[in-house]
Amino acid sequence: MWRITNQAISHVPKDEQYSEYEGIRLPLHTAKVVEDLKTWEVRHDDVWIITYPKSGTIWTQEITSAVMHDGNLDAIRARHVLFRVVYIDKTLPAEIRRLKNVPDSHRLAEEISSPRVLRSHLPGPLLPLQLWEKKPRIIYVMRNFKDVAVSYFYFMKMAINDRATLNQSFGEFLDEMMSGKVPYGTWWEHVLFFWKRRHEKNILFLRYEDLKADLRGNVEKICNFLGKDLSAASLDAITQHCSFTAMKSNPMAHIDLIFDRQGLPEDVTFMRKGEVGDWKLHFTVAQNEVVENHIEEKIRGSGLTIKS
């Protein structure tokens, strides 16, 4: 399997790895395809997994992939998740495209037979317009802002890996995240867009914390939403396959093993802890107060509640 080396990106300053699109900061690879995606052909039987970064995307896509394969775990263990679930709004790095002769993700998806499973971090207004016309099934996963912030902080050190990012404090990153100066904009705008549409029949709105509390129940919920009738034994097997421990040790379920981690701290991994409440080990009392007040102001009147 190909690997992404730190050396290939570490010389590029963080600000040069982003672009602004309609006021939203995006990774360069995403910014290059987002205009194409506006008029991209969506299929009625697509299954979309949409999340703000670090909200359980990898977890949810593995569950969804297993369900869409009718519980055939041997089939999904034989094929890496990058080829089972297409990351629609991001091209692969140039080094990988040259090595594997792989087109941009949305072009690759055009060649895939239905039903496709697609994933995206794009905020609602930047998603393909046909998504709202053809109404394919959409699974949206929300995670507590504070746990997202901690996970995103560590992820950025691996993904960007320039000197400024590696030396950035959590407090500095938190300020950037609250002001929307991180990829994909602000957490609350992303979440509220789908929260307001949660009653639409083709949208399943899930919470990361509920997945942690009752994985089996939420596997069944996803199964029912996707119109699959799987046996209790199959649901149990999928639940076991998609436990955090099983997934972290499964090279076909995530992309940790394609990153060369040379020079990175031990706690900087793609799948780090997957815990609820890890923010308590990182936030100061003052930071927690500022974030609580800010989020309360942003979601006031929406009916959205946040679990921690």
Q: For residue range 106-145, what is the model confidence (pLDDT) as tens digits?
A: 878 888 899 999 999 999 999 999 999 999 999 999 999 9
Would you state the structure tokens that stand for residue 201, as one six-digit string? 């029949």
Give the closest residue to 118 by CA, choosing from 234, 127, 269, 235: 127
Distance of CA 296 to the CA centre of its chain: 24
The answer to whether 141 and 198 have CB atoms below 8 angstroms apart is no
Does the annotation mark 44 as catalytic?
Answer: no
Which of 55, 125, 66, 121 is CA-nearest to residue 88? 121
Query: What average pLDDT does the segment 101-108 reach?
Result: 71
Average pLDDT, the chain: 85
Whole-number percent of the chain with pLDDT over 70 = 81
Task: Tell me the average pLDDT across 289-298.
Answer: 96
Active-site residue identified among 121, 190, 241, 254: 121
Which single residue is written with the structure tokens 């399943």? 204
Q: Average pLDDT, stretch 176-191?
A: 95
Query: Quick check: helix, strand or coil at residue 267?
Result: coil
pLDDT digits (tens, 9 = 90+) for 17-65: 778 899 999 988 788 788 889 999 999 999 999 999 999 999 999 999 9
Q: Which residues pair with 140 in a beta bridge?
A: 50, 205
Burial label for 228, CB within 10 Å (0-12, 13-18, 19+), is: middle
